[in-house]
Amino acid sequence: MSKLSRRDFLKGAGVAGAMGAFALGGAGIAFADDAPAPAEERAGNPYSKVLGEDANMLPLRNAEFPGPHGPIAFEDREIGEEEIASTEDTEVLIIGAGIGGIMASLKAAEEGARVLMLEKMTEGRSSWESFGATQATFQKEQGIEIDDAQLIDEILRASDWRADPDVVTSYVKHSGEMADFWQAMFDKGGHGWEIYKFDQAPNYNGFPVIDSYVNFRMPEGTSNTWLFGLYVCKELLGVGEAYDNWEVRYSTPAVQLVKDGDRVTGAIAKNPDGTYVRVNASKGVLLATGGYDANPDMMKAWVRPEDYEYSSWWNPSWGTTGDGHMMGLKVGADMDSLPQPVMNFSNATPSTFVEKRVYFPGAMNFGIMVTEEGKRFTNENNPRQYAGNAINLKIRQGHSVFTIFDEGMIGSAVESDAAKGQLDRDEAKGHLFRAGSIGEVAQLAGIDAAALEATIAEYNALFEDGVERDPEYYRYTGNNKPFTGGTYYAMVTTNVVLATVGGLTINANAQVVDTSGNPIPGLYATGNASGSFYSGNYPRHIPGTSVGRAATFGYVAADHMVNGGQA
């Protein structure tokens, strides 16, 4: 196990040491006992002077990480020439075949460049249901009005203005063009895929409702789930196959970047047989490796403990181990400051994400959240990341959290096989309780029954009395429902981690920038490998910026590599 001192890790110079630790296939980072710093080091540290010799300014809470451990590919070592079995040339090299990589590969191929896309896992895919875009042709044709200034402002506001305004503006400016290209690629596939408007609730609890949400129409029989992303990626990869200047290789992770002087000229990848191949890319390399939610060491080092320690996970890919982040840092890239933001939502049980028909727009949205004390603690309709943070606060204080809903709230969803299956599975695991009365369900779940009865009576009174917003947590009654009886449900509720969304800093062209803000020639990043866009948490109330920015900056990077003077 590699040891580095806490002091080393927190210094900028610690990054190289940290990479060494990550590269040990996920061996835990251990912090050596913090011996006092040498006198000459202390002299340059104003903080230790303020607090005195013995004070520890930087306590770190060591939290358990309950998430997955994916296969880390980054190698922080000199790979000898004798280990390189072959060298190949391409124009555009794309690392990672999620949505950002796929979109970039198609744009580069369409622009006539020779493209090679490397994917670590056995297939290229990512899971999601929608994305964000503005001023796309279909939106204009349908008269959908989106205020771009409001969209830019809300993204910046949600990041506390830590996002780079040029990057945010570039996303907004290019997302429509990218969406048109996306539809053109669907048309090329010829299977009838279509993008169209995603209808949103008219009221987002005081947060602006921006109409830039985009959904998909799948060809009949493709799937009955709503995780369109899996099928969209498959369709687009099929479109790629039609180009003779386009190639994807699976089970072939990039392990490090190659630099010649200041310029990134390619990457070294590991073939399925364990040999290495050097790929020279004359027009550029795109890091599209996603986040690091399946890398326990990075999560512990870069993310707030409460953002993961009580969560369940639902990213079926597990390829997201921060390889791109590490490869970029190794060649001098800058990254978002710490702690980095996570996409964590309130719609989960301790085992997984809750099936859409159970939470949206139904039971979990209409229900109330209480602790075992039977009392509410937040506005349940806040955007999921904020409701999720409120849940984490309660769990951190030793409470359990339950979503309480009834038959009227779950409505006809309960008749669907998918929703029924979720409820049955959760019941079998002890994550869902149902009964014919509030008292009984409270008893089954271990909630204070009298308090829950009082809470529900109080909640129902808001509707009877026509109160617009509840006086405690300011939840609107207009788009909610009172409890009407029948079967009552208590669902054990946690957050679910879907992705990390902090990464390498980029500019408006998706070029990775160094610590002085200068582009590293030849190197680009998109999606969750890239940064400059979020801070705090992922702002779920702004439509689909995650897939939106991955696809948009993939598109922008490819365009810049091929047409932007990068030859």
Residues in contact with ligand FAD by the rule CB under 6 A: 73, 95-101, 118-121, 124, 126-131, 229, 253-254, 288-290, 314-315, 317, 319-320, 323, 343, 353, 498-499, 527-529, 544, 546-548, 550
List all residues 6 or more positions away from 274 whose beta carbon is below 8 Å from its beta carbon: none
Distance in Å, CB of 336 to ligand FAD, minimum = 14
Q: Under the phi-then-psi rule, with left for phi > 0, alpha for psi from -120 to 50, and beta for the rest, what region is 393?
A: alpha
Distance in Å, CB of 57 to ligand FAD, minimum = 34
Distance in Å, CB of 260 to ligand FAD, minimum = 21
Backbone angles phi, psi at 438, to 5 degrees: -65, -45
Distance between CA atoms of residues 62 and 532, nearest Å: 27
List all residues 6 or more positions away from 476 whose beta carbon is below 8 Å from its beta carbon: 203, 205, 381, 468, 469
State which residue, 374 or 383, has the beta carbon closest to ligand FAD.
Answer: 383
State which residue, 252 or 379, has the beta carbon closest to ligand FAD.
Answer: 252
Q: Where are the alpha helices (DSSP H) in 35-164?
A: 39-43, 46-51, 99-110, 137-141, 148-158
State which residue, 176 or 548, has the beta carbon closest to ligand FAD.
Answer: 548
State which residue, 265 or 526, has the beta carbon closest to ligand FAD.
Answer: 526
Distance in Å, CB of 277 to ligand FAD, minimum = 12
Distance in Å, CB of 319 to ligand FAD, minimum = 2
Closest among 490, 502, 489 to 546, alpha carbons compared: 502
Cβ atoms within 10 Å of 99's Cβ, excluding its own: 29
Q: Are 470 and 462 in contact (CB under 8 A)?
A: yes
Distance in Å, CB of 211 to ligand FAD, minimum = 16
Residue 42 burial class via C-beta count within 10 angstroms: exposed 0-12, middle 13-18, buried 19 and up: middle
Distance in Å, CB of 150 to ligand FAD, minimum = 19
Distances (CA, A) of 203 to 215, 380, 511, 546: 19, 13, 37, 22
Distance between CA atoms of residues 494 and 479, nearest Å: 23
What 3 state SS string does 499-563 have? EECCCECECCCCEEEECCCCEEEEEEECHHHECCCCECECCCCCCCHHHHHHHHHHHHHHHHHHH
Q: Are 503 and 75 in contact (CB under 8 A)?
A: no
Closest among 327, 294, 19, 40 to 9, alpha carbons compared: 19
Distance in Å, CB of 326 to ligand FAD, minimum = 9
State which residue, 185 or 409, has the beta carbon closest to ligand FAD.
Answer: 185
Distance between CA atoms of residues 156 and 165, nearest Å: 7
State which residue, 240 or 548, has the beta carbon closest to ligand FAD.
Answer: 548
State which residue, 370 or 547, has the beta carbon closest to ligand FAD.
Answer: 547
Q: Are 526 and 288 in contact (CB under 8 A)?
A: yes
State which residue, 150 or 251, has the beta carbon closest to ligand FAD.
Answer: 251
List all residues 6 or more positions away from 556 whose beta carbon is below 8 Å from its beta carbon: 170, 174, 178, 508, 509, 510, 526
Distance in Å, CB of 322 to ligand FAD, minimum = 8
Give the single-character DSSP code of 254. Answer: E
Distance in Å, CB of 266 to ligand FAD, minimum = 13
State which residue, 99 or 445, has the beta carbon closest to ligand FAD.
Answer: 99
State which residue, 551 or 562, has the beta carbon closest to ligand FAD.
Answer: 551
